Amino acid sequence: MVYNIFVYVTCPKADRNCNNFEWTRIAKIESNETLTLRVAGLTSATEYRFRVTSYIVTENSSLYSAYAYINGTTL
């Protein structure tokens, strides 16, 4: 059984032009073998917030997990 994963990022905490901290999907992982994800294009020395959810498509519907949130600061 393969669980798919969506990864989202919101704009930097310090970005005053951010539109209500909208989430942007940056990855759709469709393999149980993927263990890491590198995100390009982030600003150095900036704090970002990520959210992750997994889902599986069954015969009759899609089942989603709750979101997990991760804060991180780029180098």
Q: Tens digit of pLDDT for each residue in 3-50? A: 788 888 877 665 655 656 678 888 988 887 888 888 888 888 888 888
CA gyration radius, the chain: 14
Find out whether 72 and 25 touch, Cβ atoms under 8 Å: no
pLDDT of residue 2: 63
Measuring CA to CA, how many Å separate 39 from each of 7, 8, 17, 44, 69?
10, 10, 21, 12, 16
- Model confidence at 66, in pLDDT bands (50, 70, 90)? very high
Find out whether 26 and 39 touch, Cβ atoms under 8 Å: yes
**Domain limits of the chain?**
4-34+42-73
- Look up the pTM and report it: 0.73
